[in-house]
Amino acid sequence: MYIDRPASYTDYYELTMAQGYYLSGMHERRASFDYFFRKNPFDGGYVIFAGLKELIETINSMSFSPEEIDYLVNEGFDKEFINYLEEFEFTGNIWSVKEGEIVFPNEPIVTVEGNLLETQLIETLLLNVLNFQSLIATKACRIKFAAGDNSTILDFGLRRAQGLAGIHATRAAMIGGFDGTSNVYSAQRFKVQAGGTMAHSWVQSFNDELTAFRTYAEHYPKNTILLVDTYDTLGSGVPNAIKVGKELREEGYELQGIRLDSGDLAYFSKQARTMLDDAGFPDVKIAASNQLDERVIASLRTQNAPIDVFGVGTRLVTGDNSPALDGVYKLSSIGGDPTLKISENIEKITLPGHKKIYRYLNPDGSFYGDALLLDSETILERMHHPTFPAQKSNLNGRNYEELLFQVIKDGKLHVDLPSVKEIAEYKKERFSKLNPEFKRFDNPHIYKVGISTRLMETRDNLLNLLKP
């Protein structure tokens, strides 16, 4: 579960609105909300959806504890409303795309349907869980993409994370494509691989670098990765690592790697590679760290830096460059009728009604574009650009997949939710179907997300009705 007392893990206004609905006798009205975001983070071309399992498990077991009830009593909430909350459990329905799915702006990634009170009450929790994990999974995916599938990417972020966010940053990083983490707590909790190297303090704690390396190798002969930049990377660090490598070999072991943590990583990695190869250690891996991100790694790749392992911390877990995903949760139907939110900005007008997402495919199976349609629709011949409807795409003859599936039915878990490892596998497979033009870092191609003719008409009719 995400947090111990999820019921009060919310904004105060959710509770005042919930009480207001209750006291006005509106709380049993049926309502639907959609979760979607408007802009890809990092100026990128996609988002990796993450956080679903934790959200669903938390909603599924959500109730007000006696302490939370006491707090609300002291805050002056109404007695009958409090009685209602004491019995509260989520009884609605939730549809979602799969965790690890590649998603795009304006798609209803999650739809929550139920009574107005319960669907309102979970807003903040839902946004808190999904926005953060999807942001970090996306950053992680970009970092892994820059490094390429042949390298190993490790999460070193816990020390620089915004407090406890480091716990879920690691979960999201693994979904996004990281191979392991230094974060022991999250590795246990989410059953992913923990590991690491050594800090400068280890090297400094001994009288000399060679003794530091040797002592480590004695304790961990099968898994020695030596940090070579404490004093003089090429003058002493790499030569001492080679010495220890030879000693290990005499004992029947192989040095696993060295780590560079400062300076020009391209220059140092090339020099170190040559020194290791010349000394008979072509299989010793070179790890690098120090304020890495997808752009630095891409640059190192174009410089042909022979780096096998990247340790990435700060810029991963803080979502550097794009510190939040702008995901929102908007009412799409009330009392069985579609509704929308009007905005001066036409792009911000929401899409009414209970919707589905069809992902249309190219003949080679890669993703062509996504259509949003009303739940009652089945076959689409075309989709329209949501704000410039004259722009149409012909969908005839294309295969498609439906992306939303039901995860909670009448308050009960409806499916088995996959493990982090399984989600990461799913993400990898889906990401391979996204064409390269959507993955590049500069001016990525905009993925098509269109709306059906009927959805467009429903929206436009409502707009006409609601306009003052």
Sites of contact with ligand PRP (CB under 6 A): 156, 159-160, 199-200, 261, 289-292, 311-315
311 contact partners, CB below 8 Å, separation of at least 6? 154, 156, 182, 196, 197, 259, 287, 288, 289, 292
Residue 299 interacting partner from ligand ATP, ligand PRP, ligand NIO, none (CB closer than 5 to 8 Å by kind): ligand ATP
258 φ, ψ (degrees, to nearest 5): -125, 160
Give whichever of 175 and 292 is closer to ligand NIO, judged by the CB atom.
292
94 contact partners, CB below 8 Å, separation of at least 6? 56, 59, 110, 111, 112, 113, 406, 407, 408
- Closest-by-Cβ residue to ligand ATP is 262
Give whichever of 205 and 362 is closer to ligand NIO, judged by the CB atom.
205
Which tokens in the block code for residue 55?
Answer: 């959200």
Residue 197 interacting partner from ligand NIO, ligand PRP, ligand ATP, none (CB closer than 5 to 8 Å by kind): ligand NIO
Residue 264 interacting partner from ligand PRP, ligand NIO, ligand ATP, none (CB closer than 5 to 8 Å by kind): ligand ATP
Write each residue from 257 to 296 as x if it is in contact with ligand NIO (CB under 6 A), else as -, in one continuous string: --------------------------------x-------
Q: Which of 303, 339, 393, 435 binds ligand ATP (CB under 6 A)?
A: 303
Give whichever of 118 and 261 is closer to ligand NIO, judged by the CB atom.
261
Is 182 near ligand NIO (CB under 6 A)?
yes
Question: Residues binding ligand ATP: what is the number (CB under 6 A)?
Answer: 12
Residue of 2, 111, 61, 66 whose CA lies nearest to 374? 111
Residue 294 interacting partner from ligand ATP, ligand PRP, ligand NIO, none (CB closer than 5 to 8 Å by kind): none
Please give, one letter per residue, the 3-state secondary structure of the chain: CCCCCHHHCCCHHHHHHHHHHHHCCCCCCEEEEEEECCCCHHHCCCEECCCHHHHHHHHHCCCCCHHHHHHHHHCCCCHHHHHHHHCCCCCCEEEECCCCCEECCCCCCEEEEEEHHHHHHCHHHHHHHHHHHHHHHHHHHHHHHHHCCCCEEEECCHHHCCCCHHHHHHHHHHHHCCCEECCHHHHHHHCCCECCCCCHHHHHCCCCHHHHHHHHHHHCCCCCEEECCCCCHHHHHHHHHHHHHHHHHHCCCCCCEEEECCCCHHHHHHHHHHHHHHCCCCCCEEEECCCCCHHHHHHHHHCCCCCCEEEECHHHHCCCCCCCCCCEEEEEEECCEECCCCCCCHHHCCCCCCEEEEEEECCCCCEEEEEEEECCCCCCCEEECCCCCCCEEECCCCCEEECCEEEEECCEECCCCCCHHHHHHHHHHHHCCCCHHHCCCCCCCCCEEEECHHHHHHHHHHHHHHCC
**Residue 200 CB, nearest distance to ligand PRP (Å)?**
4
Residue 303 interacting partner from ligand NIO, ligand ATP, ligand PRP, none (CB closer than 5 to 8 Å by kind): ligand ATP
Q: Which of 299, 362, 366, 432 binds ligand ATP (CB under 6 A)?
A: 299
Is 292 near ligand ATP (CB under 6 A)?
yes
Is 262 near ligand ATP (CB under 6 A)?
yes
Is 105 near ligand NIO (CB under 6 A)?
no
Give whichever of 135 and 292 is closer to ligand PRP, judged by the CB atom.
292
Is 156 near ligand NIO (CB under 6 A)?
yes
Residue 182 interacting partner from ligand ATP, ligand NIO, ligand PRP, none (CB closer than 5 to 8 Å by kind): ligand NIO
Rounded CA separation 121/111 (Å):
14
Q: Which of 3, 68, 194, 196 binds ligand NIO (CB under 6 A)?
A: 196
Which tokens in the block code for residue 54?
Answer: 């934790």
- Closest-by-Cβ residue to ligand NIO is 196
Interface stretch with ligand ATP, choices 22-30, 71-79, 284-292, 421-429 (CB under 6 A): 284-292
Q: Which of 124, 215, 271, 290 binds ligand ATP (CB under 6 A)?
A: 290
**Residue 286 CB, nearest distance to ligand ATP (Å)?**
13
Question: Residues binding ligand NIO: what is the number (CB under 6 A)?
Answer: 7
Q: Which of 173, 248, 266, 383 binds ligand ATP (CB under 6 A)?
A: 266
Give whichever of 300 and 317 is closer to ligand ATP, judged by the CB atom.
300
Interface stretch with ligand ATP, choices 36-44, 140-148, 200-208, 289-297 (CB under 6 A): 289-297
Applying CB under 6 A, the residues found at the interface with ligand ATP are 262-266, 290-292, 296, 299-300, 303
- Interface residues with ligand NIO (CB under 6 A)? 156, 182, 196-197, 289, 311, 313
